[in-house]
Amino acid sequence: MDHGRAPAGAAIRLTDASYQRSKPAEPEPQGALGSICLEATSFSVAWREFRKAKGQRSLAEALFQGKDPTIPIVLLEDSGALIGLAMAFVAIVASWLLDSSVPDAIGSIAIGVLLCIIGLALARDTRSLLIGEGVTREVEGEVTALVAATPGVEAVSQFLFYHLGPSSVIAALKVPFERGANVQRIEAVTNEIESRIRAARPELERIFVEADGTCDATQDPAKRSS
């Protein structure tokens, strides 16, 4: 499902509200009830997959802080659809009991607002992934500490992490090596750095290490923003 469906659905439901108010339709609660059963089946599948991917993270972290938005997006859309159908069923039954189109129109408005909220939440969640996003601070700290503890390395002066995909990350590091190290020694230490990072974080597929002898930490955007 693409993100444009939620705003489009919201516009349709809000337009439908005014139409229902001016030209009432015959209530059909059976159709809404059948749709709820079908959507509940889809939601149960999405929920099982989400629980597998969630791990030990909280619900909010798994939904909005993960790097693979596929399952959270499906879960949010299925949840919105299920809630919207339940609201539609209540509105249709109320219209039938009261013999009035007002509850149906109110239900359409409520569903439109719900879809707007879901669309905004999805846009907020995936915006950074579309334009590029770094790793979490925990991963930054783990990798930089791992590199700094490598024999032959004095520190990590600058670093940059960038997601190429949900499980593919590029890492660029500027590293001051030990004083007096020759080219062969620097090459060996660099290979050791790459081996350690890949062993700890396989998702860091591309690693670039640059020797740094005259680092100005104030020019590092990662450290300025932290």
Residues 80 and 11 in one domain: yes
pLDDT at 29: 61
Strand 158-165 to 168-175 pairing = antiparallel
Query: Which of 54-58, 62-66, 153-157, 175-179 shows the lowest mean pLDDT across its residues?
Result: 62-66
- Domain count of the fold of the chain: 2
Residues 23 and 90 in one domain: yes
Residues 126 and 169 in one domain: no
Last-in-domain residue among 130, 157, 190:
130
Band (65; pLDDT cuts 50, 70, 90): low
Amino acid at 83: I
The residues facing 32 across adjacent strands are: none
pLDDT at 42: 83
pLDDT at 151: 92
The DSSP symbol for 219 reads: G
Residues 90 and 45 in one domain: yes
- 155-181 average pLDDT score: 84
Residues 125 and 40 in one domain: yes
pLDDT at 21: 47
Cβ neighbors of 94 (< 8 A, separation 6 or more) are 103, 104, 107
Residue % of the chain over a pLDDT of 90: 8
Residues 26 and 66 in one domain: yes
Last-in-domain residue among 130, 161, 192:
130
Mean pLDDT over the full length of the chain:
76
Residue with tokens 């660099």: 190
Residues 103 and 197 in one domain: no
- 118-142 average pLDDT score: 76
pLDDT at 58: 77
User: Taking the CA of residue 191 as centre, how many other CA atoms within 13 Å lie in the half-sphere pointing to its CB?
Assistant: 6
Residues 118 and 161 in one domain: no
pLDDT at 196: 92
Residues 59 and 164 in one domain: no
> Containing domain of residue 125, as a range?
5-130
- 30-52 average pLDDT score: 80
Query: Which of 34-48, 183-197, 203-217 shows the lowest mean pLDDT across its residues?
Result: 203-217
Query: Which of 25-29, 72-76, 141-145, 176-180 shows the lowest mean pLDDT across its residues?
Result: 25-29
Residues 121 and 12 in one domain: yes
Residues 145 and 35 in one domain: no
